[in-house]
Structure 1
Amino acid sequence: MNPPEVFAPAALGPIILRNRVIKAATFEGRTPDALVTDDLIAFHREQAAGGVAMTTVAYCAVAPGGRTDRHQIWMRPEAVPGLRKLTDAVHAEGAAVCAQIGHAGPVANAASNGVAALAPSRIFSPLGMRFTKVPDATELRQIIAAHAEAARLAERSGFDAVEIHFGHNYLVSAFLSPLLNRRTDGYGGSTAKRARLAREIACAVREAVGDRLAVTAKLNTEDGVPGGLTVPESLQVAVWLEADGACDALELTAGSSLLNPMLLFHGDAPRRAFAKVLPPPARWGFRIAGRVFLKQYPYREAYLLERARQFRRELSMPLILLGGVTDLDTMRLAMAEGFDFVAMGRALLREPNLLHRIRSDPGTRSACTHCNECMPSIYTKTRCVFRPEQQAEPIRQVQIDLGTPTRRSE
C-alpha cells in the first residue's frame, strides 16, 4: 500500500484537515493579561495562511494555578470572546485550530501565579523558588473536572480540537513519572496507578465534547532523566489510552521542562541567551547549573522517530510525529513509517510560509538552523530571533464585540 500524500486531506477523529501538517504547540508569550490579544491572533492567522492544516494555541490552562506564569490564558468564560475571534481568524484562512489544554503542575511558577504549584509528591520547584503542594483525591477530581470544562469552553470558542498536555513533566506527566510521583494512594505506585490521572482526564474530556471535537494528547515517550518515565512504561500507558478510546490521536514527545528540556528540542543549547533573560536569583543559579539543565543533543531530522516507531508498532490509533520535521522528505518518511500526521514547531516560527514554499518546490529546505535562540524568547514574545520584524510589534488587547458568537458553518 502506498503511503498517504502529505498534502491530501485527512481525517482526525470527527474533523477533516486539509493536509497532514500540524503547527505544534509553542507557547506564544502574547497574552499579558491572560486573554487573547491582536498579536496572538496575528500569530495564528499567519500560521494558518502559511498552509498548515491546523494550528495549536498554547497554552490554555485549565485553572489559574495551572499556568507556567500569570500571563498565560486560563480557560474561563471571560476568555471565550477573544478566543472566538482567534478561531474565526484561523478558519478564514482555511485551517483548523486546536487548543492545548492542561495543568502545568510543578512547571507552574507559584510566585507569578500567586498560588502554590501542584505536584504528585512534595518537591522544591526552582521556578517559583518554593515547595510544591500535593493535591489530595478531592483536588484531583476538581482538576479532572477543570479539564472537561476547559474542553467545553474550547468548543464554545469555536475550536476544532483540543490537545491534552500529558508531556514534559507538567502535572499529568509528573504523575506518570516514578521519579516525581512517590504517592501511596490510588494515583501512585504501579504504572497503572500513575496512569490513572491521564486516563480519567482523557475520558472526562471526551465525555465533555463527544464527537464534536477532535481530542488528542501530547504524551512523553520518555522523560530523559534517571528514574523518570521510560519508553516501555509510556508505551503501556499509550496502550491503555488507546483501549479507553477517548483520544483520536497521540502526539509523541519527550523531555522534561523541569529537568531535561533539550531532549525535546535537540540542536544548540542557548545557555547564554537564557542567562540574560532570567531574573535574579534564577539567573545566578542558571549560570552555575545551566550545563546540567540544558544538555546538548546534536540535531538530526526526525530525531524522535526511533522512539516513536516503537509506539507505531504496538498501536493502531493515529499517531503524530514531532521532532525534526522540516522538509518534504521527512514528512514522506513519517507517512511511509505509518504516522498519520507530522507536527512542526521551530521551522514554522522561522518561516510561517514554509509549506507553501515546499509545495512550490519539493526540494525546499527550512531556513531554521536549530540554534534554539527562540527558546529564551518565551519571556518576551516567542519568535525566531532572525525575524526582527516580530520584535517591534506592540502587544494590544483585543477589542471584543460581546454579542452572541455564531458557529462556523460546516
Structure 2
Amino acid sequence: MTTIFEPARLGPLTLRNRVLKAATFEGRTPKALVTDELIEFHRAIAAGGVAMTTVAYCAVAPEGRTERRQIHMRPEAVPGLTRLAEAVHAEGAKVAAQVGHAGPVADARSNRAPALGASRRLSPLTGQFIQAASEDDIERITAAHADAAELAADAGFDSVELHFGHNYLISSFLSPRLNRRRDGWGGTTEARARLARQVAEAVRTRVGTRIAVTAKLNLDDGVRGGLKPDESLQVARLLQDDGHLDALELTAGSSLLNPMYLFHGKPPVRDFAAAFPQPLRTGLRVFGRAFLKHYPYEPLYLLPMARTFRAELTMPLILLGGVTDHAGMRRAMDEGFEFVAMGRALLMEPDLIERIARDESTESRCIHCNRCMPTIYSGTRCVLT
C-alpha cells in the first residue's frame, strides 16, 4: 500500500510525502520579480507540510505572461528566486517553478507585445488578434524554456513544471480547435504534439538530472472541438515514450474559453466583475455566466477521466482537482496515482497537510466558492479567512 506521509521519489528528488501545492498565480509580483510577500506565501505553505510548493507563473519570455506583473525568467529574477528557494528549503520542503508561455491567454495590451498562438484568431479576452507563431518564434520559445529551467536550477529550485495545459501556447498547439496549421506543427495528433515533445526534450537536455521535470497536461479542454481525453492520452503516451519527464500532472479546462472546467463549483461572477473598472464590470455582470460556467463540485472530480490515463500509462501521475482530505488522498493512492496536488484548500489553510498528517479525520474548511479566483489581481488569498 502506498503511504501518503512517507518519503517518495520524483525523478532525482526525494520528497517528504506525496502532497504537492499546485501552481496558482499568487498576484504578488508587481514588478515581475520575487517579493517578500511571494516568499512568505510559499514559506507558509512549506511550513504547513506539503512536500513541494509550486511557484506560478514563471513565463519564459516577456510576451509569454498573461499580464505584465508576472515573473518572466531572466537573470534579474535569480536573486529573488534564490531567496524564495532558501526559505522553502528551511521549512523542509522542495520548490518547483511552473514555466511556460501563455500564448493566446496573454494580454497583449498589458505586455505591450502581440499574443501568440498556434493559429491566428480573435482573442475573446482582449478583442485583439492573436498572431500565429512563426518558425522563428517556435525556435526561440523552445530555447527559452530550456533557459528558464536552467535559471530555476541555478536559483536552487528542485523542479520545473512545464505548462502544457489550459490553452496556453503549447496547449493551443495541442488543441484541434485552436491549431489550424497546415505545416509540420498542425493536423495529426502527433504533429500537434510536436512542440510539447520538443520543449520537454530541450529542457531535459539542458538540466539533465539536476532537477525534476514534470508537465501539466489537459485531460480535456472542456470546449467543443478542443483536445479530448482520447487524443490527450495519445499525447501522454508520446511524452512517456520520449522519456524526458518525471511525471505528468493531469488538469483540464481552458483559460481562454472555459476556465471553470478546471475549478468546478460556483462561478464567482460578481467578484470578478468587482475586480474590473467600468464598462467591463457591467459587461461581466451581464454576460459573465456565459463564460464562467457552472460545473458542480464533488471530491476528486477529475478522477473519472484520469483513471484511463492511470490504466494506460506507466509513468508517475499527479492527480489534481478536489483533493482536500485524507480520504481523497488515500483513494488516489489506492487507484495508482503517485502524487496529489492541492490548490484552493491550501489558500484557506496553509497548514492543512500538517494537521491531516496528525489526525486523518481532519476536514478542510474550503467550501469551493471560488471567490479566491478574482483575488489574483490583488494578492491571491481566501476571502473567507
The bucket for the TM-score relative to the shorter chain is over 0.9
- Out of 77, 87, 100, the position equivalent to 2:85 is 87
Q: How many positions carry a matched residue from both structures?
A: 385
Q: SS in structure 1 opposite 2:131?
A: coil
Q: SS in structure 2 opposite 1:260?
A: coil
The aligned residue for residue 120 of structure 1 is 118
1:302-345: CA deviation from partner (whole Å, max 9, x where unpaired):
00001110100110000000000000000000000000000000
The aligned residue for residue 137 of structure 2 is 139
Q: SS in structure 2 opposite 1:235?
A: helix
The aligned residue for residue 309 of structure 2 is 311
- Out of 155, 169, 178, the position equivalent to 1:157 is 155
Out of 319-328 and 120-129, give the one that drifted further.
120-129
Provide the rounded CA distance (Å) in 2 between the counterparts of 1:55 and 1:85.
Answer: 14
Provide the rounded CA distance (Å) in 2 between the counterparts of 1:286 and 1:193.
Answer: 37
Provide the rounded CA distance (Å) in 2 between the counterparts of 1:127 and 1:278.
Answer: 13
Q: Is the 8 A contact 1:300 1:324 kept in 2?
A: yes
1:45 equivalent in alignment to 2:43: yes
The aligned residue for residue 57 of structure 1 is 55
The aligned residue for residue 225 of structure 1 is 223
Alpha-carbon offset, residue 139 of structure 1? 1.2
Alpha-carbon offset, residue 281 of structure 1? 4.2
Provide the rounded CA distance (Å) in 2 between the counterparts of 1:361 and 1:323.
Answer: 22
1:1-58: CA deviation from partner (whole Å, max 9, x where unpaired):
x2x1100100000000000000000000000000000000000000000000000000
Provide the rounded CA distance (Å) in 1 between the counterparts of 2:180 and 2:362.
Answer: 48
| Percent of aligned pairs with the same amino acid | 66
The aligned residue for residue 370 of structure 1 is 368
Provide the rounded CA distance (Å) in 1 between the counterparts of 2:184 and 2:21.
Answer: 36
Runs of 4+ in 1 over 4 A off after TM superposition: none
> Normalised by the size of structure 2, how large is the TM-score?
0.99
Provide the rounded CA distance (Å) in 2 between the counterparts of 1:52 and 1:363.
Answer: 18
1:177 equivalent in alignment to 2:171: no
Q: Is the 8 A contact 1:110 1:127 kept in 2?
A: no
1:96-130: CA deviation from partner (whole Å, max 9, x where unpaired):
00000000001000000000000111111133331
Provide the rounded CA distance (Å) in 2 between the counterparts of 1:126 and 1:32.
Answer: 25
Q: Is the 8 A contact 1:31 1:72 kept in 2?
A: yes
Alpha-carbon offset, residue 360 of structure 1? 1.8
Instruction: State the one-letter code of the partner of 1:174.
Output: S
- Out of 220, 232, 236, the position equivalent to 1:238 is 236
Provide the rounded CA distance (Å) in 2 between the counterparts of 1:122 and 1:14.
Answer: 40
Which runs of structure 2 are paired with 1:375-394 in the superposition (5 Å)? 375-387=373-385
Provide the rounded CA distance (Å) in 1 between the counterparts of 2:102 and 2:201.
Answer: 19
The aligned residue for residue 23 of structure 1 is 21
What do you get for the CA RMSD once the two structures are aligned?
0.8
Alpha-carbon offset, residue 292 of structure 1? 1.4
Provide the rounded CA distance (Å) in 2 between the counterparts of 1:22 and 1:230.
Answer: 26
The aligned residue for residue 329 of structure 1 is 327
Provide the rounded CA distance (Å) in 2 between the counterparts of 1:152 and 1:42.
Answer: 24
Which runs of structure 2 are paired with 1:250-399 in the superposition (5 Å)? 250-387=248-385
> Normalised by the size of structure 1, how large is the TM-score?
0.93
- Out of 9, 33, 36, the position equivalent to 1:35 is 33
Provide the rounded CA distance (Å) in 1 between the counterparts of 2:139 and 2:372.
Answer: 36
Q: SS in structure 2 opposite 1:100?
A: strand
Provide the rounded CA distance (Å) in 2 between the counterparts of 1:288 and 1:122.
Answer: 28
Q: SS in structure 1 opposite 2:178?
A: coil
1:233-286: CA deviation from partner (whole Å, max 9, x where unpaired):
000000000000010000000000011111111111101111111234433432
The aligned residue for residue 204 of structure 2 is 206
Alpha-carbon offset, residue 64 of structure 1? 0.3
- Out of 210, 216, 223, the position equivalent to 2:214 is 216
Q: Which runs of 5+ in 1 are unaligned?
A: 388-410
Provide the rounded CA distance (Å) in 1 between the counterparts of 2:335 and 2:207.
Answer: 31
1:56-85: CA deviation from partner (whole Å, max 9, x where unpaired):
000000000000000000000000000000
